[in-house]
Amino acid sequence: MRFLLRPGWLALTVVVFTFAVCCFTLLAPWQFRRDGEQSAQNNALTASFTAQPAAVSQLLAPGAAPNQQNEWHLVSLTGTYIPSAEVVARLRTVQGEAAFEVLTPLRATDGTVYLVDRGYVRLDDKSGVLPYAAAPGGQVTVVARIRSDEADPKHRNAFADASTEGKLQSYTVDSQVVARSSGLTIRPGYFQLDQNQPGVLGALPLPQLDSGPFFSYALQWIAFGTMAVLGWLYFTIRELKPGGALTVEKADRTRRKSVAEMLAEDDEEFTAVR
């Protein structure tokens, strides 16, 4: 068993079991979580196709951010758009083409301010935002889908440049970015307009109802981890047998001849021929 303490074998053991532990505790669970998130999204979307729009208060507690249980559900909002606080989200891709998304706060009749994603507009030939219709004035009632705020690791604020003709723009669809730029108190999360709603531009397409490859990826990581451990066990058993498979120098192998021995053998062959 002393071969188990050889530096090379110890290094192999550490690598194999580190990889296996990562497969079982990190990589496979991560893919299982993604599969669960995808299933929850699909279920919420499927339910929203037949459910009637609900009041926000029925699905979200005051000031609570959306979560996996209520995202994508339809809600009805009644209030007035605040176009002066509008922000456009840049670097978006819709159906494979670049776009901006237009984010306009809406003040509800109870005073709560919601961030409404009115949809997308395309870029002009200078990569600026194409002209788009302003949000309608007066009181409106819209049906929208609950969405969670996007995260920006750099926590960048909204800014303005020539590409959006002076309009503020952001790198994410985030209610709190718009809140900081406008000075408004906007409840967490945003609300994505469906088609044919007051103020909608290009309605954003819904995600495909596809379970994705996450479950199979999780099983693959489990298989990889298992194969690594079984491979290590196989070679360990082989090494314990006489003349182990991984032993570099074995007693039953022919010893390497020296130069003097090879010259002596040549002389003997030469003498025999004569």
Question: Does 189 lie in the same domain as 218?
Answer: no
Asked whether residue 44 is domain-assigned, the answer is no
Q: Residue 2: pLDDT above 70?
A: no
Asked whether residue 201 is domain-assigned, the answer is no
Asked whether residue 37 is domain-assigned, the answer is no
Quote the pTM value: 0.66
Q: What is the pLDDT of residue 251?
A: 47
Q: Which among 141, 154, 152, 151 has a CA at the least distance from the CA of 114?
A: 141
Q: Residue 258: pLDDT above 60?
A: no
* Percentage of the chain modeled with pLDDT above 70: 83
Tokens encoding 83 = 């176009």
Q: Residue 19: pLDDT above 70?
A: yes
User: What is the C-alpha separation between 130 and 124, in angstroms, rounded?
Assistant: 5
> Of 161, 193, 225, which marks where a domain is finished?
193
Q: Which residues contact 139 (CB under 8 A, 6 or more apart)?
A: 78, 79, 80, 109
Q: What is the pLDDT of residues 184-242, one digit of tens each?
A: 999 999 999 988 999 999 999 887 667 778 888 989 999 999 999 998 888 888 877 76
Residue 97 near residue 173, CB atoms below 8 Å: no
**pLDDT (average), residues 21-42:** 86
Number of domains the chain contains: 2
The mean pLDDT of the chain is 84
Q: What is the pLDDT of residue 270?
A: 54
Q: What is the pLDDT of residue 35?
A: 83
Q: Residue 245: pLDDT above 70?
A: no
Question: Does 131 lie in the same domain as 232?
Answer: no
Question: Does 113 lie in the same domain as 24?
Answer: no
Asked whether residue 118 is domain-assigned, the answer is yes
Tokens encoding 102 = 């237009």
69 pLDDT band, cuts 50/70/90, is confident
Q: What is the pLDDT of residue 250?
A: 47
Question: Does 66 lie in the same domain as 114?
Answer: yes
Question: Does 185 lie in the same domain as 109?
Answer: yes
Question: Does 246 lie in the same domain as 146?
Answer: no
Q: What is the pLDDT of residues 116-147, one digit of tens each?
A: 999 999 998 888 888 899 999 999 999 999 99
Distance of CA 73 to the CA centre of its chain: 21
Q: Give the residue numbers spanning the domain of 164.
A: 53-193
Question: Does 84 lie in the same domain as 166?
Answer: yes
Question: Does 130 lie in the same domain as 162?
Answer: yes
Residue 74 near residue 142, CB atoms below 8 Å: no
265 pLDDT band, cuts 50/70/90, is low
Asked whether residue 175 is domain-assigned, the answer is yes
Asked whether residue 78 is domain-assigned, the answer is yes
Asked whether residue 149 is domain-assigned, the answer is yes
Question: Does 183 lie in the same domain as 104?
Answer: yes
